[in-house]
Chains A and B, each alone.
Chain A
Amino acid sequence: MNIEQDYLQGSLTTAIRDVIETMTGLCIEEVLSQEVCKINKGEISGVMLILGERNALMSLTMSKELCTTIISYMTGIEKTDITEEEIYDGAAELVNMVAGRAKAILSGTKYHFNITPPFTIIGQDHFIVHKDKIFNITKNYIIDDRSLFLQIYYIN
Protein backbone atom coordinates (compact mmCIF):
# COMPACT_ATOMS: atom_id res chain seq x y z
CA MET A 1 0.00 0.00 0.00
CA ASN A 2 1.38 3.41 -0.91
CA ILE A 3 1.04 6.49 1.28
CA GLU A 4 -1.94 7.89 -0.64
CA GLN A 5 -3.89 4.66 -0.31
CA ASP A 6 -3.05 4.72 3.38
CA TYR A 7 -4.37 8.29 3.75
CA LEU A 8 -7.58 7.46 1.89
CA GLN A 9 -8.17 4.36 3.96
CA GLY A 10 -7.44 6.27 7.16
CA SER A 11 -9.78 9.14 6.30
CA LEU A 12 -12.61 6.81 5.28
CA THR A 13 -12.16 4.79 8.47
CA THR A 14 -12.43 7.95 10.56
CA ALA A 15 -15.32 9.21 8.42
CA ILE A 16 -17.46 6.10 8.77
CA ARG A 17 -17.13 6.24 12.55
CA ASP A 18 -17.93 9.99 12.60
CA VAL A 19 -21.00 9.60 10.40
CA ILE A 20 -22.50 6.62 12.21
CA GLU A 21 -21.85 7.96 15.70
CA THR A 22 -22.93 11.54 14.92
CA MET A 23 -26.02 10.76 12.88
CA THR A 24 -27.31 7.73 14.81
CA GLY A 25 -25.61 7.55 18.20
CA LEU A 26 -25.01 3.84 17.51
CA CYS A 27 -21.69 2.18 18.38
CA ILE A 28 -19.54 1.01 15.50
CA GLU A 29 -16.82 -1.57 16.06
CA GLU A 30 -14.21 -2.63 13.54
CA VAL A 31 -13.70 -6.38 13.28
CA LEU A 32 -9.97 -6.95 13.25
CA SER A 33 -9.22 -10.18 11.47
CA GLN A 34 -6.27 -11.60 9.58
CA GLU A 35 -8.67 -13.44 7.34
CA VAL A 36 -9.30 -11.66 4.03
CA CYS A 37 -12.69 -12.40 2.54
CA LYS A 38 -12.99 -11.36 -1.11
CA ILE A 39 -16.75 -11.77 -1.28
CA ASN A 40 -18.87 -9.85 1.18
CA LYS A 41 -22.50 -10.44 0.44
CA GLY A 42 -25.17 -7.92 1.26
CA GLU A 43 -28.61 -6.73 0.31
CA ILE A 44 -27.84 -3.07 -0.25
CA SER A 45 -24.69 -1.16 -1.23
CA GLY A 46 -24.12 2.56 -1.38
CA VAL A 47 -21.43 3.24 -3.96
CA MET A 48 -19.41 6.29 -4.93
CA LEU A 49 -16.35 7.20 -6.99
CA ILE A 50 -13.46 9.04 -5.41
CA LEU A 51 -11.49 11.12 -7.90
CA GLY A 52 -8.07 12.35 -6.91
CA GLU A 53 -4.43 11.64 -7.52
CA ARG A 54 -5.55 8.00 -7.33
CA ASN A 55 -9.11 7.16 -8.32
CA ALA A 56 -11.06 4.66 -6.28
CA LEU A 57 -14.49 3.15 -5.99
CA MET A 58 -15.82 2.88 -2.46
CA SER A 59 -18.82 0.93 -1.32
CA LEU A 60 -20.69 0.36 1.91
CA THR A 61 -22.44 -3.02 1.82
CA MET A 62 -24.95 -4.13 4.44
CA SER A 63 -28.15 -5.99 5.06
CA LYS A 64 -31.47 -4.26 4.55
CA GLU A 65 -32.11 -4.79 8.27
CA LEU A 66 -28.98 -2.85 9.23
CA CYS A 67 -29.71 -0.08 6.72
CA THR A 68 -33.23 0.20 8.15
CA THR A 69 -31.85 0.36 11.69
CA ILE A 70 -29.40 3.12 10.76
CA ILE A 71 -32.14 5.15 9.04
CA SER A 72 -34.46 4.63 12.00
CA TYR A 73 -31.84 6.01 14.39
CA MET A 74 -31.05 8.88 12.00
CA THR A 75 -34.64 9.99 11.52
CA GLY A 76 -36.48 8.78 14.60
CA ILE A 77 -38.91 6.89 12.36
CA GLU A 78 -40.02 3.43 13.53
CA LYS A 79 -38.30 0.69 11.49
CA THR A 80 -41.67 -0.68 10.39
CA ASP A 81 -42.63 2.71 8.92
CA ILE A 82 -39.53 3.07 6.74
CA THR A 83 -40.27 2.54 3.04
CA GLU A 84 -38.14 0.74 0.44
CA GLU A 85 -37.40 4.08 -1.26
CA GLU A 86 -36.21 5.54 2.04
CA ILE A 87 -33.88 2.56 2.52
CA TYR A 88 -32.36 3.08 -0.95
CA ASP A 89 -32.07 6.83 -0.40
CA GLY A 90 -30.58 6.28 3.05
CA ALA A 91 -27.83 3.96 1.72
CA ALA A 92 -26.89 6.56 -0.90
CA GLU A 93 -26.89 9.39 1.65
CA LEU A 94 -24.81 7.31 4.05
CA VAL A 95 -22.05 6.73 1.49
CA ASN A 96 -22.33 10.40 0.44
CA MET A 97 -21.77 11.58 4.01
CA VAL A 98 -18.88 9.14 4.60
CA ALA A 99 -17.10 10.19 1.41
CA GLY A 100 -17.89 13.85 2.12
CA ARG A 101 -16.48 13.60 5.63
CA ALA A 102 -13.32 11.86 4.32
CA LYS A 103 -13.02 14.58 1.70
CA ALA A 104 -13.20 17.19 4.47
CA ILE A 105 -10.49 15.39 6.46
CA LEU A 106 -8.12 15.44 3.46
CA SER A 107 -9.13 18.92 2.29
CA GLY A 108 -6.12 21.21 2.00
CA THR A 109 -3.68 18.31 1.76
CA LYS A 110 -2.12 16.97 -1.41
CA TYR A 111 -4.38 13.93 -1.02
CA HIS A 112 -7.60 15.93 -1.49
CA PHE A 113 -10.19 14.43 -3.82
CA ASN A 114 -13.56 15.02 -5.43
CA ILE A 115 -16.59 12.75 -5.26
CA THR A 116 -19.33 11.77 -7.70
CA PRO A 117 -23.04 11.55 -6.87
CA PRO A 118 -23.71 8.32 -4.96
CA PHE A 119 -25.72 5.39 -6.27
CA THR A 120 -27.26 2.33 -4.68
CA ILE A 121 -27.08 -1.35 -5.66
CA ILE A 122 -29.93 -3.51 -4.39
CA GLY A 123 -30.32 -7.28 -4.45
CA GLN A 124 -30.26 -10.17 -2.05
CA ASP A 125 -26.77 -11.69 -1.61
CA HIS A 126 -25.20 -9.36 -4.16
CA PHE A 127 -21.47 -8.76 -4.05
CA ILE A 128 -18.88 -6.78 -5.97
CA VAL A 129 -16.21 -8.64 -7.91
CA HIS A 130 -13.04 -7.02 -9.14
CA LYS A 131 -10.12 -8.15 -11.25
CA ASP A 132 -7.38 -9.88 -9.31
CA LYS A 133 -4.76 -7.20 -9.83
CA ILE A 134 -6.90 -4.32 -8.61
CA PHE A 135 -5.67 -3.36 -5.19
CA ASN A 136 -8.52 -3.31 -2.74
CA ILE A 137 -9.20 -2.97 0.94
CA THR A 138 -12.12 -4.43 2.85
CA LYS A 139 -13.01 -3.44 6.38
CA ASN A 140 -15.70 -5.15 8.38
CA TYR A 141 -17.62 -3.24 11.03
CA ILE A 142 -20.30 -4.32 13.44
CA ILE A 143 -23.23 -2.02 14.15
CA ASP A 144 -26.14 -3.26 16.26
CA ASP A 145 -24.80 -6.85 15.91
CA ARG A 146 -24.84 -6.68 12.10
CA SER A 147 -22.03 -6.41 9.55
CA LEU A 148 -21.19 -3.38 7.47
CA PHE A 149 -18.46 -3.76 4.84
CA LEU A 150 -16.41 -0.82 3.65
CA GLN A 151 -14.66 -1.68 0.41
CA ILE A 152 -12.19 0.48 -1.49
CA TYR A 153 -11.03 -0.50 -4.98
CA TYR A 154 -8.17 1.48 -6.50
CA ILE A 155 -8.95 1.81 -10.19
CA ASN A 156 -5.79 3.54 -11.36
Chain B
Amino acid sequence: MKILSVDDSAIIRKIIKMAVEVIEYEFLEAGDGEAALSIINENYRDIALILLDWNMPGIDGFEVLKTIKSDDRLKSIPVMMVTTESEKLSIIKAIQAGAIHYVVKPFTMEEVTRKMFEALGKGE
Protein backbone atom coordinates (compact mmCIF):
# COMPACT_ATOMS: atom_id res chain seq x y z
CA MET B 1 0.00 0.00 0.00
CA LYS B 2 1.02 3.60 -0.60
CA ILE B 3 1.09 6.88 1.30
CA LEU B 4 0.83 10.12 -0.68
CA SER B 5 2.50 13.33 0.53
CA VAL B 6 1.19 16.54 -1.03
CA ASP B 7 3.28 19.60 -0.22
CA ASP B 8 4.80 22.37 -2.35
CA SER B 9 8.02 22.05 -0.34
CA ALA B 10 10.32 19.27 -1.57
CA ILE B 11 12.05 19.35 1.82
CA ILE B 12 8.83 18.58 3.69
CA ARG B 13 8.10 15.75 1.24
CA LYS B 14 11.56 14.33 1.96
CA ILE B 15 10.88 14.38 5.71
CA ILE B 16 7.52 12.66 5.19
CA LYS B 17 9.22 10.13 2.93
CA MET B 18 11.60 9.21 5.75
CA ALA B 19 8.67 8.64 8.11
CA VAL B 20 6.81 6.59 5.48
CA GLU B 21 9.85 4.40 4.94
CA VAL B 22 10.07 3.80 8.69
CA ILE B 23 6.57 2.33 8.68
CA GLU B 24 7.34 0.41 5.49
CA TYR B 25 4.81 1.85 3.07
CA GLU B 26 5.43 2.81 -0.52
CA PHE B 27 5.83 6.57 -0.98
CA LEU B 28 4.06 8.79 -3.52
CA GLU B 29 4.47 12.57 -3.74
CA ALA B 30 2.91 15.61 -5.38
CA GLY B 31 4.03 19.26 -5.31
CA ASP B 32 0.60 20.81 -5.85
CA GLY B 33 -3.12 20.08 -5.68
CA GLU B 34 -3.58 19.39 -9.37
CA ALA B 35 -0.78 16.81 -9.47
CA ALA B 36 -2.17 15.29 -6.27
CA LEU B 37 -5.65 14.76 -7.75
CA SER B 38 -4.13 13.18 -10.81
CA ILE B 39 -2.05 10.74 -8.71
CA ILE B 40 -5.04 9.99 -6.46
CA ASN B 41 -7.27 9.19 -9.43
CA GLU B 42 -4.66 6.85 -10.89
CA ASN B 43 -3.74 5.10 -7.63
CA TYR B 44 -6.74 5.37 -5.33
CA ARG B 45 -7.12 1.62 -4.90
CA ASP B 46 -3.59 1.43 -3.44
CA ILE B 47 -3.49 4.63 -1.37
CA ALA B 48 -3.74 3.96 2.37
CA LEU B 49 -3.25 7.56 3.54
CA ILE B 50 -2.83 11.08 2.16
CA LEU B 51 -0.80 13.77 3.96
CA LEU B 52 -1.90 17.15 2.71
CA ASP B 53 -0.47 20.65 3.00
CA TRP B 54 -3.00 23.49 3.04
CA ASN B 55 -1.29 26.44 1.35
CA MET B 56 -0.13 25.49 -2.13
CA PRO B 57 -0.16 27.24 -5.49
CA GLY B 58 -3.20 26.52 -7.67
CA ILE B 59 -5.65 24.12 -6.04
CA ASP B 60 -4.99 24.36 -2.30
CA GLY B 61 -5.06 21.50 0.17
CA PHE B 62 -8.51 22.28 1.50
CA GLU B 63 -9.97 22.08 -2.01
CA VAL B 64 -8.17 18.76 -2.54
CA LEU B 65 -9.62 17.48 0.73
CA LYS B 66 -13.16 18.52 -0.27
CA THR B 67 -12.73 16.91 -3.71
CA ILE B 68 -11.58 13.62 -2.15
CA LYS B 69 -14.38 13.55 0.40
CA SER B 70 -17.08 14.31 -2.19
CA ASP B 71 -16.01 11.46 -4.50
CA ASP B 72 -17.51 8.05 -3.68
CA ARG B 73 -14.43 6.25 -5.00
CA LEU B 74 -12.02 8.28 -2.85
CA LYS B 75 -13.82 9.34 0.29
CA SER B 76 -12.76 6.31 2.36
CA ILE B 77 -9.06 7.24 2.01
CA PRO B 78 -7.93 8.85 5.29
CA VAL B 79 -6.50 12.36 4.90
CA MET B 80 -4.20 14.03 7.39
CA MET B 81 -3.45 17.75 7.11
CA VAL B 82 0.24 18.70 7.64
CA THR B 83 0.47 22.47 7.45
CA THR B 84 1.61 25.77 8.94
CA GLU B 85 -2.05 26.87 8.83
CA SER B 86 -2.86 26.91 12.52
CA GLU B 87 -5.97 29.04 12.97
CA LYS B 88 -8.54 27.22 15.12
CA LEU B 89 -11.19 27.88 12.46
CA SER B 90 -9.04 26.22 9.78
CA ILE B 91 -8.53 23.14 11.94
CA ILE B 92 -12.28 22.89 12.59
CA LYS B 93 -13.01 23.36 8.85
CA ALA B 94 -10.59 20.60 7.89
CA ILE B 95 -11.91 18.14 10.48
CA GLN B 96 -15.51 18.93 9.47
CA ALA B 97 -14.55 18.34 5.83
CA GLY B 98 -13.26 14.89 6.75
CA ALA B 99 -9.57 15.18 7.73
CA ILE B 100 -8.68 12.47 10.23
CA HIS B 101 -5.75 14.34 11.82
CA TYR B 102 -4.26 17.82 11.77
CA VAL B 103 -0.50 18.29 12.27
CA VAL B 104 0.84 21.83 12.52
CA LYS B 105 4.39 22.54 11.32
CA PRO B 106 6.94 22.46 12.86
CA PHE B 107 6.53 18.80 13.76
CA THR B 108 8.80 16.08 15.02
CA MET B 109 9.31 12.83 13.14
CA GLU B 110 7.87 11.01 16.15
CA GLU B 111 4.69 13.09 16.05
CA VAL B 112 4.06 12.64 12.34
CA THR B 113 4.88 8.91 12.48
CA ARG B 114 2.54 8.39 15.45
CA LYS B 115 -0.28 10.26 13.71
CA MET B 116 0.26 8.21 10.56
CA PHE B 117 0.03 5.01 12.59
CA GLU B 118 -3.21 6.23 14.15
CA ALA B 119 -4.64 7.25 10.79
CA LEU B 120 -3.78 3.83 9.39
CA GLY B 121 -5.65 2.23 12.27
CA LYS B 122 -2.51 0.77 13.78
CA GLY B 123 -2.99 2.68 17.01
CA GLU B 124 0.69 3.14 17.92
Known: A22-B107, A22-B108. A100 touches B85 (CB 8 A): yes
What is the bound-complex CA distance between A115 and B124, given in angstroms? 35
Nearest CB in chain B to that of A25: its residue: B108
Contact of B86 among A75, A76, A89, A107 (CB under 8 A): A107
- A interface residues, tally (CB under 8 Å): 25
Establish whether residues A104 and B104, one from each chain, have CB atoms under 8 Å apart when the complex forms: yes
A43 within 8 A of B: no
A90 touches B (CB below 8 Å)? yes
When the two chains form their complex, are residues B9 and A23 in contact, meaning their CB atoms are under 8 A apart?
A: no
CA distance A96 to B82 in the complex (A): 13
Partner of A108, one of B15, B85, B88: B88
Q: Give the distance to chain B from A22, nearest Cβ to Cβ, in Å.
A: 4
Taken together as a complex, chains A and B put the C-alpha atoms of A85 and B18 apart, in Å, by 19
Q: Chain A's interface: helix, strand, loop or mixed, by majority?
A: helix
- Within the complex, the shortest CB–CB distance from B91 to chain A, in Å, comes to 10
A67 CA to B108 CA in the complex, in Å? 19
1/0 contact string of A98-116 vs chain B (CB within 8 Å): 0111011001100000000
B77-124: which residues lie under 8 A (CB-CB) from chain A? 84-88, 104-108
Please determine whether A90 and B106 come into contact, CB atoms closer than 8 angstroms.
Answer: no
Set B14, B18, B88, B105: member contacting A100, Cβ < 8 A:
B105
Taking CB atoms and an 8 Å cut-off, the chain B residues in 1-55 that contact chain A are 9-12, 14-15, 18, 55
Residues of A within 8 A of B (CB): 18-19, 22-23, 71, 74-77, 85-86, 89-90, 92-93, 96-97, 99-101, 103-104, 107-108, 117
Q: List 5 A-B contacts (CB under 8 A).
A: A19-B106, A90-B11, A96-B105, A101-B84, A101-B106
Instruction: A93-B11, A97-B106 are known; give 13 further A-B pairs, CB within 8 A.
Output: A18-B106, A22-B106, A74-B15, A75-B14, A86-B14, A96-B105, A100-B86, A100-B104, A100-B105, A101-B105, A104-B104, A107-B88, A117-B57
Q: Which 4 A-B pairs have the closest CB atoms?
A: A100-B84, A104-B86, A22-B106, A93-B9
